[in-house]
Structure 1
Amino acid sequence: MTAWLPSRLSLSLAGALLAGATLATSVEARELSVSTVLSDAFPWGQAAQKWADLVEERSNGELTLRVYPNSQLVNGDQTREFSAMRSGLIDLAVGSTINWSPQVPELNLFSLPFLMPDEAAVDAVTGGTAGDLVFDAIESRGVVPLGWGENGFRQVSNSRGVIDEPADLEGLKIRVVGSPLFQDTFSAMGANPTQMSWADAKPALTTGAVDGQENPLSVFDVARIDQVGQSYVTLWNYMNDPLVFAANQQVWSSLSDEEKTLLRETAIEAGVWEIKMTREQEADRLAAIEERGVTVTELTEEQLEAFVSATESVYSKWTPRIGEELLEAARADIGTP
């Protein structure tokens, strides 16, 4: 009978194996989801993938970020991304200030028309007092901001003709994102703004349901918007869309100090890398677009001022919603009155 009983040695070995299994489980890699609107064919998606690559490399695989592009985690509705992350359905995101602005009104700062004329102004705002205030506003709503990226300045295109004065927009159906501020901006210039998701935009341009759209050149180039009748592009830099690397607050709280430091440092690094890449590619993208037969119009200062004047009413309506203090801080950062 005793032959069937385990020996002390076998019991010790079993205990060691069990302890080893427990240890292996405790250090098992943790996977966090990362939401983005665009895939890695675009700089936006590449920013998320860069973040994931840096985290995996520096955590030795113990922390993994899985990127879900094309707004998969919110069934294609990009304006729901912030709410989904705040509620815990999404762990991390590289999100657009535009898409998050319905839940964080302060983010509408970046959508105010013609506030930031160039890249230096964008950097002054995101790196200045206004940028700190915006990050505070995001965090107060249950999401922890970690770093900045950039979708770039948004330009307008259409299938009808050259746009170099507000009158050229009169009656044009322009696809805009799901932000009331965009509707007010294009309405002020006489256009007929039509809100729709990016997933619906290209089919609508193909059928002629809308006449035009506004997006950074990177989106126009990679998505080949010229193939759906968009033969005219106007460079007017009317607003810039910074991206925000961020984490759900509960997920953030569950991380160790080392993991928090890793996520924040790699987010900042990925953002710097993506901003530099996006800006360096701009000239080549513009050349490629022109080579495909698209008519590109660059506005003179006088022409640009006509659009600025046409959208002054937007500031009267939106400054109270965004916050006078925040707008003043942004103007001080930029160095404009």
Structure 2
Amino acid sequence: MTLSYLTRAAVLLVGTAALTASLSAQARELSVSTVLPDAFPWGQAAEKWAELIEERSDGRLTLRVYPNSQLVSGDQTREFSAMRSGLIDAAVGSTINWSPQVPELNLFSLPFLMPDEAAVDAVTGGEAGEMVFEAIESRGVIPLAWGENGFRQLSNSQGPVSEPEDLEGLKIRVVGSPLFQDTFSALDADPTQMSWADAKPALTTGAVDGQENPLSVFDVARIDQVGQEYLTLWNYMNDPLVFAVNQNVWQTLDEVDRELLRETAIEAGKWEIAMTREQESERLASIQARGVTVTELTDEQHQAFVEATQSVYEKWVPRIGEDLVEAARSAIDAR
């Protein structure tokens, strides 16, 4: 009787252990990196993705969002490399920040390439967008969906900017992308590379005169409170976001969870793009109400900036890929 009892107990323990192991194997948490927290649309995109996964995975899969580039010690340009190597499972990242590792992403940083939101959608939703996703995947990361950080506008503390000559000598904070250095150098400004974590203190002390960011960042971060009294709406480039997963992580998931990750990323991306665009006019009104002087370029003024930055195309189109740039231009022309 004692042996039978012990046998039954042993079987029960083994069964319990097997069940626990099975449940542990089924429940999986993936780390998701993003640069901005959920006070910004960018961070909200990552949180929305995590929320949708939690609702629909029945506990099999969860996404834990790490904002402020904390998984790469604040260095946003290292995010893609960290995801590719497996230090990060997934990310909602900027095409700008990932461009040092994926040169094709510099397409979106070409100055004045995409004049409006319809042009952005034509590029991301067409052949050029597919080519960009293929370039990302070839480097060990699976792209799933597009989001949007928005058109980047220019602000400074010195005076209105309505023509290239107004930028001469101004120290402008730019992200760690050589293309940005070349763009502002072409405009005779003094581009100063630094992370976003360092940018606001530099603006506060006057170490730099200006910066460029979407209206959402200007508004939520209250950039006007650090001397940025002049804002130029010039739509010089748009910064799409990409929802993506490390390739090795992707391969360990079954088809059901792969499809779940993709469909929720697409849904979160569409939600975030719509929200970002809908809030633009409200954000601009709020910024103006705080006393910021806003300059909107005429067609002639806009063209002057276009012509002043043509040297950037001569240098960067071969690096990005002529076929890719041509596909983007064709999509924009046909929009």
Tell me if both proteins adopt one fold, taking TM over 0.5 as the criterion.
yes
> Structure 2 residue aligned with 1:23, among 19, 25, 30?
19
CA drift at 1:17 = 4.2
Say which is worse superposed, 53-62 or 93-102, in terms of deviation: 53-62
Q: How does 1:4-83 map to 2 (within 5 A)?
A: 6-9=2-5, 11-28=7-24, 29-83=27-81
Q: How does 1:253-332 map to 2 (within 5 A)?
A: 253-332=251-330
Structure 1: gaps (5+ residues):
none
Q: Which runs of 4+ in 1 moved over 4 A?
A: none
> The residue matched to 1:76 in structure 2 has which SS?
coil
Q: Which amino acid aligns with 1:123?
A: D
Structure 2: gaps (5+ residues):
none
Q: Which amino acid aligns with 2:144?
A: L
Cα deviation, 1:188-217, whole Å, max 9, x if unaligned, reads: 111000000000000000000000000000
Q: How does 1:73-222 map to 2 (within 5 A)?
A: 73-222=71-220
CA distance in 1, matches of 2:273, 2:206: 33
Cα deviation, 1:235-289, whole Å, max 9, x if unaligned, reads: 0000000000001111011111111001011111100000000000111100100
Q: Which amino acid aligns with 1:23?
A: L
Cα deviation, 1:7-62, whole Å, max 9, x if unaligned, reads: 52553254234313322322222111000000011000000010011111101122
Q: Which amino acid aligns with 1:246?
A: A
- TM-score calculated relative to the size of structure 1: 0.97
Cα deviation, 1:159-200, whole Å, max 9, x if unaligned, reads: 000000000000000000000000100111110000000000
CA distance in 2, matches of 1:161, 1:94: 35
Q: Which amino acid aligns with 2:223?
A: I
CA drift at 1:122 = 0.2
Q: Which amino acid aligns with 1:112?
A: L
> The residue matched to 1:325 in structure 2 has which SS?
helix
Instruction: Among all aligned residue pairs of Structure 1 and Structure 2, give the percentage whose two residues are the same amino acid.
Output: 77
CA distance in 2, matches of 1:177, 1:194: 8
CA distance in 1, matches of 2:278, 2:255: 35
CA distance in 1, matches of 2:80, 2:52: 24
